[in-house]
A and B are shown apart, each in its own frame.
Chain A
Amino acid sequence: MTRIDAKFADLKAQGKKAFVAYVMAGDPDFDTSLEVVKGLPGAGVDVIELGLPFTDPMADGPAIQLAGQRALEAGMTLDRTLEMAREFRKGDNTTPIVMMGYYNPIYSRGVDLFLEQAKEAGIDGLIIVDLPPEEDDELCIPAQKAGLNFIRLATPTTDDKRLPKVLQNTSGFVYYVSITGITGAAQAQATDVAPEVARIKAKTELPVIVGFGVRTPEIAQNIASVADGCVVGSAIVAELASGKPVSEVLAFVKSLADGAHRA
């Protein structure tokens, strides 16, 4: 049982929805980013998605693209991202960390070495956007064997015929992408999302968390009410990019978490 499995079991027992927050590791610099990450559980975040910066984030909108560029310019690397997780773990041994990013930095490191290092750093799961089920042999299966969850994205284009393939090697939770599009673009609509979440839940016991297009406490509440929880990324990253102090960013995160938890 990973920290992710334990967290969702705990939330279920409390009858609570999950609030997942995404931040880009190292944005705008290592110290500020670490301060934000350390503050997330206190702001009500149940699961942390830690972005691994990449030069070519093909599924991301401008907010997360720019966050990645800022992090890379400030010297962020895969090693420093793992270091950030390790630092966080010194003060928090229960909040799950999911590393989210693209495959090339991991492939470049070498899958086996990466998994060993990620596990040791206290990473609990992976969301790797450019690894669909067709490429499961690359990282998904080795990650499960190493005891890390591999969280898959299901999307509006994942039809009933394809859904079992998407769910087959997924663990931890299922991340439902609310829109066809990139992060931070269109707004998620609870009326569209509800039947899709029901369709997925009919085929899996795993929690279904909804992300993309969730940017206000109200949307967070609406979306969480029709799923097991929601994710906010771009809106948090944009707050940080606007130059607000960490305390204000965390207050914004808390308002989002409160919204989701009201659901």
Chain B
Amino acid sequence: MNDLFNSFMKGPDEKGRFGDFGGRFVSETLMPLILELEEQYEHAKTDETFWAEMDFLWKHYVGRPSPLYFAERLTDHLGGAKVYMKRDELNHTGAHKINNVLGQIILARRMGKTRIIAETGAGQHGVATATVCAKFGLQCVVYMGAHDVERQAPNVFRMKLLGAEVVPVTSGRGTLKDAMNDALRDWVTNVRDTFYCIGTVAGPHPYPAMVRDFQQIIGKEAKAQMQEAEGRLPDTIIAAIGGGSNAMGLFYPFLDDKSVRIIGVEAGGKGVDEKMEHCASLTGGRPGVLHGNRTYLLQDDDGQILEGHSISAGLDYPGIGPEHSWLHDIGRAEYVSITDKEALEAFQLCCKTEGIIPALEPSHALGHVMKIAPELPKDHIICMNMCGRGDKDIFTVARHLGVDMGGLV
């Protein structure tokens, strides 16, 4: 039974806060826009026709529900807990990102917006946004760090095929954080016709709550599917975290199920130490204010934001969604980190044992599964979120493994 008085599912409050985290730290120009968005979202949330449209498109366009899959050979290989994968990599466009994009674009259409902007890191959110914009005939502009444009070339071409304009961002170090800065600069300039489709559970209120609400379809399905497969709740749920939208989507419906252990896996890069070559905001950062919300951030002693490092462009972000910061501080979820090297090992193991090429992002979650599963009893059930497929990452992986793709044939 859920205890409604002590529920972990009530946030955010009317100021957009999860405890001390979240909020609306934006310039005055944007403030009326996010208030309007909040009002429209609150209205849509309780509108049956809105959800009917979502359900229809989730089923017929995205391909939901995504399967819950028992990874039998991986389980045997690890020799401990039963490992299930929530197969969101099978969605149209190859990742969980489209769950949220559909919701925001349907909302944008209801608000009469004709131009959609988005930021992207790995390119998955950009591809999802370009896809849904193509479907509805909307103008789409995607901001992408110049460094990411280079390391995620297939997704850049995909977005262009879909009719989107991709703007390489050269400010800062040219990664996701800088793309978000430039998207905000675009929005502040084009306030009348433009809708900013944020790809993760971060940004000013109402984005963290809204994106979570659109992504929680992952956790809702997983819960029902696990009931069908095993007749009970999983013991542990695990997901990778950059901004944290796939994780929040899986975690949220389980927050009040106290028996379920919740683990978020941050990108440990080259190791979480004083050299700060990682993107582990919770394990290696401290609270600050960036991109409209208060949350844990990688920053120096003077409050300047640091550039993280991860092999995965999708996790290369110095912040994290505010609800994760709150769940971390109150101890409802645990947050750990996995290094580039460990993620690469998990990537290869998944390919060989399951015939699934995972994206580098969920490879971090798998990396932690590999660490804990062998020590857990055989009746312990783990559900990890396979939030994206790895087709986009094979070039990066080849480079890190020292493989010359031209020399393979």
Contacts and interface: CB of A to CB of B under 8 A. Distances in A.
A130 B304 CA distance: 15
Contacts of A152: 28
A132 B185 CA distance: 17
A108 B288 contact: yes
A185 B302 contact: no
Given A55-B304, A103-B289, A107-B289, A157 B25 contact: no
A159 B33 CA distance: 11
A104 B28 contact: no
B28 A155 contact: yes
| Category for how many chain B residues contact A | 35 or more
B290 interface: yes
A88 to B, nearest CB: 21
A130 B25 contact: yes
State the main secondary structure of chain A at its contact with B: loop
B28 A177 contact: yes
A103 B30 CA distance: 16
A177 B177 contact: no
B27 A54 contact: no
Contacts of A79: 302
A181 B188 contact: yes
Most buried by A among B26, B189, B292, B304: B304
Contacts of B181: 56-58
Nearest to A181: B189
A205 interface: no
A154 interface: yes
B290 A56 contact: yes
Interface in A162-204: 162, 166, 177, 180-182, 185-186
A225 interface: no
A34 interface: no
Most buried by B among A56, A131, A158: A56
A182 B299 CA distance: 24
B54 interface: no
B283 to A, nearest CB: 19
Contacts of B305: 55-56, 104
Contact of A132 (B28, B290, B297): B28
A105 interface: yes
B172 A59 contact: no
A157 B303 contact: no
Contacts of B288: 104, 107-108
A131 B292 CA distance: 9
B289 A166 contact: no
Interface string A112-133: 0000000000000000011111
B32 interface: yes
Given A55-B304, A182-B189, A157 B29 contact: yes
Interface in B276-335: 288-292, 294, 297, 299, 301-305
B31 A132 contact: yes
Contact of A104 (B171, B177, B190, B289): B289
Contact of A105 (B29, B32, B303): B303
Given A55-B304, A55-B305, A106-B303, A65 B28 contact: no
A226 B65 CA distance: 60
Interface string A230-254: 0000000000000000000000000
Contacts of A182: 185, 188-189
B15 interface: yes
B33 A157 contact: yes
B362 interface: no
Contact of B25 (A62, A103, A158): A103
B28 A153 contact: yes
Interface string B177-211: 10001001100111110000000000000000000
Nearest to A185: B189
B24 interface: yes
B302 A105 contact: yes
Most buried by A among B15, B29, B190, B292: B29
Contact of B29 (A131, A134, A156): A156
A140 to B, nearest CB: 12
* 4 A-B pairs with least C-beta separation: A108-B303, A105-B303, A181-B189, A155-B29
Interface of B: 15, 23-33, 171-172, 177, 181, 184-185, 188-192, 288-292, 294, 297, 299, 301-305
21 contacts: A56-B290, A58-B181, A58-B184, A59-B27, A59-B188, A78-B302, A79-B302, A102-B289, A104-B288, A107-B303, A108-B302, A129-B27, A131-B25, A135-B24, A154-B28, A155-B29, A157-B32, A159-B32, A181-B188, A182-B185, A182-B189
Given A156-B29, A166-B28, A177-B28, 5 more contacts: A79-B302, A109-B303, A132-B31, A157-B33, A162-B31
